Structure 1
Amino acid sequence: MRLQTFYCAVLSVLLLLCSAQGRADSAEQLFARFEPSLLQVRVLERASGAKAAIGTGFVLADPALVVTNYHVVSEAVLAPEKFQLEYLNSAQQKGGLQVLAVDVINDLALVSTDYRAPHPFQIQLQKPVQGATIYSLGNPHDLGMILVPGTYNGLQKYSFYPRIHFTGAVNSGMSGGPAVDANGQIVGVNVASAGNQLGFLVPAEALQRLLARFQQEGQSKDLRADIERQLLASQQSMFSQILNADWKLKDFGIGKVPDEVVPFVRCWGESNIEKDKEVLKKVTAFCSQSEEIFLSQHFTSGRVEMQFEWLEGKDLHPLQFFSLYEQSISRANADNQALKEDVTAFECQHQVVQQPGGQHAKTIYCVRAYRAYAGLYDVLYLAASLDHQQQGLISHYTLSGVSQDTARAFSQKFSGAVSWQ
């Protein structure tokens, strides 16, 4: 019986080794077959001819197009007079590229090319099973094309923008590369990394929708106008869910504030209550939809952030407390990245208002407009309670890339949800 058990154990090990070798051979064959269909996408500065940025693209079978990330080609879209696109294939051949259509919400771009790959990629219509091995391909750090095996973990939870959670390295330069199943069919597109073998992919369904739109409408006549329409449609979809939700409230210091109002807005908290030496007690809660829409290297949009802060300084003189209270108020700022070339200066309204329960608050409501995308704004709001000498509640939110109507509706709901004694 022991001998039989020994032989079974040896056989099991041999089967595992053979299986592992089979997977390795499969990955090698996969890479060898599709490497000619992978391209390095280069953004060239016209005056110098030097590379300004690089990413990865891949050739589709039908139609013959190159897919990459929008953020890879954005400079050529926004400043075509300064930047141009070029591909480099596995045979070190070069050629020009032209952006045909974009999906800025999902960070995708369709690009035309004169290059024809021997084995172009096809899209997989079925999602992989949870835990399946998939492969991310790309050109990390300009070191040459590689294949990275990893695990398909389904769509990222608590996200408004659908992203596949990929356990595998997606490094700089791999952006826009394909993620494929064992048959070499596209299941996603590389888009971001959070480090520590944590990567994110745009699902193949988003690419299918972009292809369908391109096949129906053809090449975009005005990419900036398309981006503007996509931003407006996305924010309307997001805020319809937020505004129509039944906001749950929680006790917070001397009042009540919203908690996680929708699944994709997550909340965290911290305090120094247990630190006896702190003369100013502070409790803070943060709630955010923290994913951003890439518009340019220095301009992002699409975030929602709420913050609540309760302060108490019962051992402080009221003037000392008020000074610290003012410092906390002054730290509020916009939560997304933008330069003066992207947005106007904030215009702010300051008021002292009375709440339905008789409480008073100082409010600041600030708006700045997007220069290139009409009808879109960033909004900053802050309210600070005024009815106590040694404690106070600060409520604050920032919205990026919203219409004025949406901003007003959100402000009304937010103000009605925050209360204090």
Structure 2
Amino acid sequence: MKTHNNFDEQFEFAGKAKTWSLAAIAIGVIVIALGFITGQVERTFSNLLLMGYYTTCVSLAGAFFCAIQYVTQSGWSASILRVPHAFIKILPIPAIILVVIIIAGLTFTQTIPNEEGHNVVAPYLYKIWGQHEITKAGTEGYDAIIAGKSGYLNLGFFLARVIGFLLAYILLSRLFVKYSTNEDELAGMSNYDKSFKLACVFLVIFGFTIPVFAFDVIMSLEAHWFSTMFGWYNFAALWVTGLATMTLIIIYLRKQGYLAWVTQDHLHNMGQLIFGFSVFWTYLWFAQFLLTWYANIPEETAYFYKRWEPDFKPWFWLSIVVNFLTPLLVLMARDSKRSTAILQAACVILIVGHWFDYFQMIMPGTVGHFSEWFVAVSWIEVGTFIGFAGLFAFLIFTALSKFKALAPKNHPFLQESLHHHI
């Protein structure tokens, strides 16, 4: 084992990485502006919601990663904790962006025909339950199903839940970073013990609320339909994409000469987690689909029927094929998880693959139909993805550059991590 590791090294965010991330942000801003200018308002709002939710979920995965490591008292991950810590530090920004998108999507309205053919005023997002007078009996827009859910699906309670959940995640998770940085200065076990207790509390709150967060932000786009498995299905996607993104960042830092103490054994562990939870995601996807297909209840099958329309069906099947077969065929072998190039390629594929997963969750319930399946993904989708990817990269690398050191040098399990071997 090398003994000359510099645990005081500080990441410098400059050069091509900074230039490319800023260029990507500029592309995203231009594309989003053009989307509104060209009259594709609903489609632009849908893509903003998709990417706002995606980046928030990936950032949340950093908090969940830290909580899992502390509550299980894992040693192997101690030397890479600064990466998920950076995810925690940037979480407020995608969270605020997501809330702004949701509020704007609920505020700006359009006139559309409802299921009975009457013209109603509805917001660009959450147009089923957000329609004006939808819960008022005797009006043209009245919907008995939504009226029955109005105690839960109303604007005030909806926003209170979304904002409340995000505030709880932000405030609790930032303590992980605080305790870790205090640990660097003070040493001892006091801050680690605080992190352990915090992780126990965080996981209870996170476990009970993250499915509801998914119900609110995504499932309520199609408020006539519901699935009790939807929240855990979204959690699995959150966890896999977060792990894949963390792995890519660790690989990038190693290539730039940082994190010299991170070995193929650490990457092997990340690959194992990605593989295992990709299979878990597939199980939840299949269980939700199979139960709906087998029961064949009209109000439930309507959700999948939309996704079997010609304009969405190729993307529907592409999502399951990419997100299941990639880890199954590429990451199952031990040697694959220990190959930086293969692991890096698998992570990129999964990040894009789960974008398709979120795409087919959101678009059929917002935009509705496209003329052909191959125009469903256009310059708006690509440009918005590039913009948010650039923003995420810029925020993450800026956050990493703010740490005094890239290793939690007084973590009690740091030596175990440095000598990790599997």
* Shared fold per TM-score greater than 0.5: no
Q: Which has more helix, going by share of residues? A: 2
The TM-score with structure 1 as length reference comes to 0.23
Q: Which structure shows the higher strand fraction?
A: 1
